[in-house]
């Protein structure tokens, strides 16, 4: 390990009002248009910036999950939502867009209170994206195309798409409203009803979000919410016989479990799972932009994002300078109060997660990696010393086989590797069990063209940090997922196709039993 790490930026002092928003004392499930009584087991909810408990969650047991699924089933069969004319459903989706946008600040504060992502980021990026998800699907369903086949002589076949039924939507904690809203918007846009289960760590903003959808006029039972742990509430939901399909975002091991439970009843699943994405910087790149993007790629969202560029592969002839400048900039990142606009990196989401992330410093050491910066808990001072802060961390790995290059750390922790040739870079990038996204930095067109064909990942971003084109499919190769999200991908998942075949004139039918 290198003891000569660059000097650190001063940490952000705690603001005077560390908790400007109060969470409701008890977060309850929301079923059939009303809050449940919340008699289940109580789980604490923490503010990651101080470690203070800010509320409690009432866990839904199997009986409460059953009520939620039945409410969704009734709404599917009887509320008229499934058969609503497209224009009317579009109008409702646009109202949902408006109400989420109008409450972006409130939702961002609640989200910050149990997640610790910088408030500015939540308000400007996550909540705007959440609102946009409803507008996107409102527009998509108005433009969807049909299929007609008339090649077979004397017949015409057309394909209609019908909603599947009741969807279980299971969300992770790292971007609760931004990610869950995509699932909710897609499921209901195509006429389904749903039961949403947030992560037990981050129930606050999604509970308010579901209330807001109802305040905007969404019929009761179309969107239901159950709170609780994965093994209790989540598993009861996935296994419920009246759930028709499952959309899950979370860790790869959980995805494996969910697919096996859903598979017993042959329920279709989409799984958006983990990643260990390569960010490849060729010497032919615009180096300044690539450096800015490498920092954003690993440190935004407090380092907790599936699509983080967490393995940074740099061509040898520019590596020393690039890596030194990255470490210097990382050390200057302002760590502190997530409610302050000056903060660049907030706390990790939980104490256990911080312990896990810091555990990788020891793992890196054991595998012979060199610590470039960070690698320790950060103490911003005052109340924030009880928070789950980690200083921005970077290591230089001895090889791609090091565990910090193979395991998803899911924190502000970059692992650097260097390469001498194009082939070496692509081989290293692909040598992983994951395949969510890849980043390529080069101004050399043949390199870009070849790399975008040869990288094994669901998305390749060239000369840009992460950017989501919702019309295009998003999802992972290999252990990063099954299925895709996006306009047509969601249509395929959330609808059943039905082929109707008609003869052009009365057909001659073979006559049996005369």
Active site positions, annotated: 272, 306
C-beta of 74 vs 478, nearer to ligand NAD: 478
Q: Which residues neighbour 491 within 8 Å (Cβ) at sequence distance 6 or greater? A: 140, 144, 161, 190
- Closest distance to ligand NAD from the beta carbon of 14 (Å): 27
Task: Specify the 3-state DSSP secondary structure of 491.
Answer: helix
Length of the chain: 514
Q: Which residues neighbour 339 within 8 Å (Cβ) at sequence distance 6 or greater? A: 15, 17, 18, 20, 49, 109, 112, 119
Report the site for ligand NAD in 142-171 (rule: CB under 6 A): 170-171
CA dist 105 to 50, 110, 148, Å? 21, 9, 46
Binding string, residues 481-500; x marks residues near ligand NAD by CB under 6 A: x-------------------
- Closest distance to ligand NAD from the beta carbon of 415 (Å): 15
Binding string, residues 287-326; x marks residues near ligand NAD by CB under 6 A: -------------------x--------------------
**Member of 197, 267, 276, 311 binding ligand NAD (CB under 6 A):** 197
Residue 459 pairs in a beta bridge with 437
- Only one of the segments 158-166, 226-234, 312-320, 488-496 lies at the binding site for ligand NAD (rule: CB under 6 A); that segment is 226-234
Bridge-based pairing of strands 393-396 and 413-419 is parallel
360 binds ligand NAD (CB under 6 A): no
- Positive or negative, the CA dihedral 297, 303, 305, 310 is positive
Q: What angle do CA 392, 273, 164 make, to 5 degrees?
A: 145
At 492, which helix (H) or strand (E)? helix 487-494
State how far Cα 364 lies from the chain centre: 27
59 binds ligand NAD (CB under 6 A): no
- Only one of the segments 7-15, 77-85, 139-147, 251-259 lies at the binding site for ligand NAD (rule: CB under 6 A); that segment is 251-259
**Member of 15, 70, 254, 340 binding ligand NAD (CB under 6 A):** 254
249 binds ligand NAD (CB under 6 A): yes
- Only one of the segments 71-79, 245-253, 389-397, 465-473 lies at the binding site for ligand NAD (rule: CB under 6 A); that segment is 245-253
- Only one of the segments 26-34, 93-101, 244-252, 293-301 lies at the binding site for ligand NAD (rule: CB under 6 A); that segment is 244-252
- Closest distance to ligand NAD from the beta carbon of 488 (Å): 17
Please give the radius of gyration of the chain, using alpha carbons only, rounded to the nearest integer: 24
338 binds ligand NAD (CB under 6 A): no
Return d(Cα 181, Cα 104) in angstroms, integer: 13
């Amino acid at each position: 390990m290198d003891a000569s790490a660059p000097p650190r930026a001063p940490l952000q002092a705690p603001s005077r009002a560390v908790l400007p928003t109060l969470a409701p004392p008890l977060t309850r499930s929301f079923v059939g248009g009303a809050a449940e009584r919340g008699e289940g087991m109580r789980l604490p909810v923490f503010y990651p910036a101080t470690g203070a408990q800010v509320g409690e969650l009432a866990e839904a047991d199997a009986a409460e999950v059953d009520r939620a699924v039945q409410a969704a089933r009734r709404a599917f069969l009887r509320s008229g939502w499934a058969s609503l004319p497209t224009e009317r459903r579009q109008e409702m989706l646009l109202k949902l867009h408006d109400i989420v946008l109008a409450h972006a600040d409130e939702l961002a504060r609640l989200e910050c209170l149990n997640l610790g992502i910088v408030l500015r980021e939540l308000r400007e990026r996550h909540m705007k994206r959440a609102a946009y998800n409803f507008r996107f699907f409102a527009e998509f369903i108005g433009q969807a195309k049909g299929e007609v086949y008339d090649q077979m002589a004397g017949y015409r076949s057309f394909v209609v798409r019908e909603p599947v039924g009741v969807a279980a939507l299971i969300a992770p904690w790292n971007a609760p409203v931004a990610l869950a809203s995509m699932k909710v918007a897609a499921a209901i846009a195509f006429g389904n009803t749903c039961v949403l289960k947030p992560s037990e760590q981050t129930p606050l903003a999604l509970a308010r979000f579901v209330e807001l959808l109802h305040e905007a006029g969404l019929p009761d039972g179309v969107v239901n919410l159950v709170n609780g742990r994965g093994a209790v509430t989540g598993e009861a939901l996935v296994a419920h016989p009246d759930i028709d399909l499952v959309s899950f975002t979370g860790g790869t091991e959980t995805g494996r479990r969910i697919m096996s439970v859903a598979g017993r009843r042959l329920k279709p699943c989409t799984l958006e799972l983990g990643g260990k994405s390569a960010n490849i910087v060729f010497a032919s790149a615009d180096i300044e932009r690539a450096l800015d993007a490498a920092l954003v790629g690993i440190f935004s969202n407090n380092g907790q994002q599936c699509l983080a560029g967490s393995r940074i592969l740099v061509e040898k002839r520019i590596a020393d300078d690039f890596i030194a400048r990255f470490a210097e900039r990382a050390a200057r990142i302002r760590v502190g109060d997530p409610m302050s606009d000056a903060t660049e990196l907030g706390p990790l989401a939980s104490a256990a997660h911080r312990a896990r992330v810091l555990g990788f410093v020891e793992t890196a050491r054991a595998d012979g990696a060199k610590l470039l910066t960070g690698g320790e808990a950060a103490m911003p001072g005052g109340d924030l010393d009880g928070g789950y802060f980690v200083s921005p961390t970077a290591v230089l790995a001895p090889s791609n086989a090091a565990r910090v290059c193979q395991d998803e750390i899911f924190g502000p922790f970059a692992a650097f590797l260097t390469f001498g040739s194009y082939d070496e870079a692509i081989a290293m990038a692909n040598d992983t069990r994951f395949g969510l996204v890849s980043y390529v930095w080069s101004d050399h067109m043949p390199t870009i063209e070849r790399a975008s064909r040869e990288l094994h990942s669901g998305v390749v971003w060239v000369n840009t940090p992460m950017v989501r084109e919702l019309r295009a499919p998003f999802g992972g190769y290999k252990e990063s997922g099954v299925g895709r999200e996006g306009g047509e991908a969601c249509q395929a998942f959330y609808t059943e196709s039905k082929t109707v075949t008609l003869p052009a004139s009365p057909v001659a039918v073979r006559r049996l039993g005369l």
